[in-house]
Amino acid sequence: MKVFVRLCVFSLVVVISTSVFAQTKVAGHRAPAKQKPSTSSACKPLLMAVDVGGYSAAFERTCTPDTVALWKISFRDLRSKDVQSSVFSGNISDNNQRAMVEGRIKNMLTEGVSETETDFMVGTLGPILNAALSLSGEEKQKKIAEADSAFLNFLSQE
């Protein structure tokens, strides 16, 4: 038991230290990361997934080193790991559109997914992703891009 605990602690230390050093690479040299003081307003990562009717919706909040929250929502068919549609707020250059998408994702987490949102995901995204399951290569990527575009447009609406 002691060996197992020590191994787990050692693995955790290696993962944490590797992550810290990888993020602070400067001109080919690695320097220790500056630790920011912890505050109550600091960004905290979050991941939540819900599986319904053969589909999975995942909500994710990641944090930049400056404690800025970036949001991502993914919707995928449970029959395939590589067929999914996702919208990542970090890729949206228009600030108004980014705020709208982030607000919709946060609202889904706090208020629940509405009937309209569920209908869109299952009724619109679902068939596009189902069609992508039978495709391969570039055709599959085009179909997934079509789903991503439809998802972004839907989330950008009021």
Residues 117 and 71 in one domain: yes
Residues 79 and 121 in one domain: yes
Asked if the structure places residue 127 within a domain, the reply is: yes
Identify the H or E element spanning 20: helix 2-23
Indicate the number of domains in the chain.
Answer: 2
**4-53 per-position pLDDT tens digit:** 333 333 333 333 333 443 444 444 445 445 555 555 568 889 898 888 77
Whole-angstrom Cα distance, residue 86 to residue 73? Answer: 6
Asked if the structure places residue 135 within a domain, the reply is: yes
Residues 28 and 58 in one domain: no
Domain that holds residue 28: 1-33
**109-123 per-position pLDDT tens digit:** 888 888 998 899 989
Residues 16 and 64 in one domain: no
Mean pLDDT of 78-92: 86
Q: Is 121 exposed, middle or buried (0-12, 13-18, 19+ CB in 10 A)?
A: buried
